[in-house]
Chain A
Amino acid sequence: MEKKLYTISVYSENNLGLLNRISTIFVKRHINIESLTVSASEIENVSRFIVVVNMTEEAVKKIIGQLEKQVEVIQAYYHTDDEIIFTETAMFKFKSDLLFENPQIQNIIKENNMNIVTVNRTFFIVEKAGRRHEIDAIYDAFAPFGIAQFVRSGRVAISKEAMNIRKILGEIVQ
């Protein structure tokens, strides 16, 4: 079976130790996590993990089973890229001098509709939210000029289909 990028969404109780339990499930099976994001969800006290992995569908199904087995996991889903809306955010920092020495930098910023986060005498920071390949392309464009710092967030994603977490929680409580 062919390996693919899958975005796993895990809804769970907001519990300190759970990150450890969830990451162990991947580590134990030598599954490389491409990206991991933990945040609040649309429901109070419910966290949402978004884990991006590159694996076969058969393997990802087993992972979902192991995740859902955790007592504090409410539900886990997996999606392919065309089933979700997703994005990542990247920030780039440069020395301010570069902006005057290399007008191309300004062009890259404009062409890519990047946000200027801050500018001062010594440095400036620009950001971009987008797909991985867009950010990679910007990185390649900037690289020759000397990037002082670069950081990219994990993927955040929202599924096109509904995720009935409230309903699941309601059913269990009744």
Chain B
Amino acid sequence: MKKTERIIGAEAVVRSLIAEGVDVAYGYPGGAIMPIYDELYKYQDQLHHVLTRHEQGATHAAQGFARTSGRVGVAFATSGPGATNLITGIADAQIDSTPMVCITGQVASHLLGTDAFQETDVISISSPVTKWNVQVTKAEDIPAAIAKAFYIAKSGRPGPVLIDITKDAQLGELDYSYEKCTVVRSYKPIPETNIEKVKEAATLINAAKKPMIIFGQGVILGGAESELKALVEKAGIPSAWTVLGLSALATNHPLNVGMVGMHGHYGPNKLTNECDLLIAIGMRFDDRVTGDLSKYAKQAKVIHFDIDPAEVDKNVKTDVAVIGDSKDTLAKVLEFIDEKEHSSWLQEFRSFDKIEFEKVINGQLNPTKEGLTMGEVLQGINKATHDDAVIVSDVGQHQMMAVRYANFTHTRSNVTSGGLGTMGFALPAAIGAKMGAPSRHVVAIIGDGGFQMTCQELGTILQTGTAVKIVVLNNEFLGMVRQWQQLFFDKRYASTEMINPNFVKLAEAYSIPAKKIVKREDLQGAIDEMIACETSYFLEVMVEKEDNVFPMVPTGSSVSDIRLE
């Protein structure tokens, strides 16, 4: 007989989480989840519950934690508005494949369907944005539901899972014992790799004259960074990244040729339409990456490495699909690859780099204008952190500038909302990111718009003392939207100008050391001070108001029609 103990459902929730190795979780209490909070109080020395200032903040913090630590992020909310406030973060985690378990309280089961106080059908609401979800109405079902939730959230292509637990299930008794879940009979997290496909891929790679790799977050999620590096180096293939693939290969690697997509680099976008072989690794050909699909890499053969068979041929028709876990498939293909160099092909990338440097990058990094640029702020952060900070960016121009200009040495260092583009993501995500990687410098790069979407999380920083560095790049505009208005709507700046509060005072109200920079000569000193500071720090930098992010592939254009100005 298994050893069991008679406890209530709420205690089983907390004990199950501890059994899964959870030592930090984010959330916000309320009526329908109070029994669980009561148990969190009891077990606080084993499981640190972080009270965020909004449930959305709890999900983003859990996401940030998951992204830097590689572990499952956990978020709690009460029923009704608590649960619906989780939805943005859950949708974000779903589209960015972030492992997260959300636990919501629900009204007692006899009240379900009666429009009871704070009843919402969170199972239906969250179904399209969760990898899996379940409602638990009996205490005895809790441990198995949590075990299954963790297994599903982190295995295969990771994603968010939601468990909705009725109040009576939290209060009911059960015979508790915990067993981790290792199999769900209808679910195959890692599809089998067909070795013939691996060999076909190798044959194409060996024959290619102008091969190009595009890697995405699948490399990071699979822990395949060293396999990627080995492949890139052995086959000598110029390698570009998607926004979420960033940091899987060091910025200064000689074969790292930059970012693809809408605000990606000139070379990899142009040469996507000139390569003879496109090797996609753990990426999903999102429309912001491909631009006009009918003019995307038509000349090239395409190999697609992915763990999710549904991604194959979804957007771009592949010649060879290698399905499986990236760590495993890349290691396998490596065996069949010839050692090669493609120096003149690499040179083509470097020639485009030169053009991009002159037309775009130089103006950002060595500005002649008086106004500060976002690029020089990122450059200052690179300098102060020796290219080794965790950069958590929000959404907008500053995000594109962050991914373009921040340098990375280690993997899992770039945390941003890629697929959903959720403004307000960065501040709470940075809190989780720091807790997931406490020994690293975590710098949030946020616009003045996005900062005001979740700036209440300064309270979470105050209460937890998390040493997050916050940089608000203030252009007094919803800059990215303003850029589009300038380029595509004849400069009609409809509702994009921002009259902002005194951000420094706001940060100081939360006891966070704060500074505002308006002059170039003060910038590096302030950044150095921020990085050297033991605690959290808030830095507002007034940047050029109407600067634009370039290069740019306008929506619906071909990637090779990328604009430099």
Query: Are A and B interaction partners?
Result: yes
A interface footprint on B186-197 (CB within 8 Å = 1, 0 otherwise): 111000000000
| Residue from A28, A68, A71, A74 whose CB has the most chain B CB atoms within 10 Å | A71
- With A17-B133, A20-B127, A24-B128 as known contacts, state yes or no: A72 contacts B313, CB within 8 Å: no
Q: How far is the CA of A21 from the CA of B132 in the complex (A)?
A: 10
Please determine whether A61 and B183 come into contact, CB atoms closer than 8 angstroms: no
Please determine whether A71 and B128 come into contact, CB atoms closer than 8 angstroms: no
Q: How large is the interface on A (under 10, 10 to 19, 20 to 34, 35 or more residues)?
A: 20 to 34
B124 beta carbon closer than 8 Å to chain A: yes
Q: How far is the CA of A173 from the CA of B152 in the complex (A)?
A: 15
A interface footprint on B286-327 (CB within 8 Å = 1, 0 otherwise): 000000000000000000000011111110000000000000
Please determine whether A68 and B185 come into contact, CB atoms closer than 8 angstroms: no
A99 beta carbon closer than 8 Å to chain B: no
Q: How far is the CA of A65 from the CA of B284 in the complex (A)?
A: 14
B184 beta carbon closer than 8 Å to chain A: yes
> Using Cβ atoms and an 8 Å threshold, which residues of chain B touch A71?
131-132, 152, 184, 186-187
- With A68-B309, A69-B308 as known contacts, state yes or no: A172 contacts B187, CB within 8 Å: yes
B47 beta carbon closer than 8 Å to chain A: no
> Using Cβ atoms and an 8 Å threshold, which residues of chain A touch B309?
65, 68-69
Q: Nearest residue in A to B134 (C-beta to C-beta)?
A: A17
The tally of residues in B whose CB lies under 8 Å from a CB in A reads 23
Please determine whether A12 and B186 come into contact, CB atoms closer than 8 angstroms: yes
A153 beta carbon closer than 8 Å to chain B: no
A73 beta carbon closer than 8 Å to chain B: yes
CB neighbors of A among B117-173 (8 A): 123-124, 127-128, 131-135, 152
Please determine whether B310 and A69 come into contact, CB atoms closer than 8 angstroms: yes
Q: How far is the CA of A92 from the CA of B152 in the complex (A)?
A: 48
> Using Cβ atoms and an 8 Å threshold, which residues of chain B touch A13?
185-186
The 10 nearest A-B residue pairs measured at CB = A65-B310, A74-B186, A71-B132, A71-B187, A69-B310, A24-B128, A172-B185, A20-B127, A72-B186, A21-B127
What are 30 pairs between A and B in contact, CB < 8 Å? A13-B185, A13-B186, A17-B123, A17-B127, A17-B133, A17-B135, A20-B124, A20-B127, A21-B128, A24-B127, A24-B128, A28-B128, A58-B313, A62-B310, A65-B309, A65-B311, A65-B312, A66-B310, A69-B308, A71-B131, A71-B132, A71-B152, A71-B184, A72-B132, A72-B186, A72-B187, A74-B186, A172-B183, A172-B184, A172-B188
| A contact residues vs B (CB 8 Å cutoff) | 12-13, 17, 20-21, 24, 28, 58, 61-62, 65-66, 68-69, 71-74, 169, 172-173
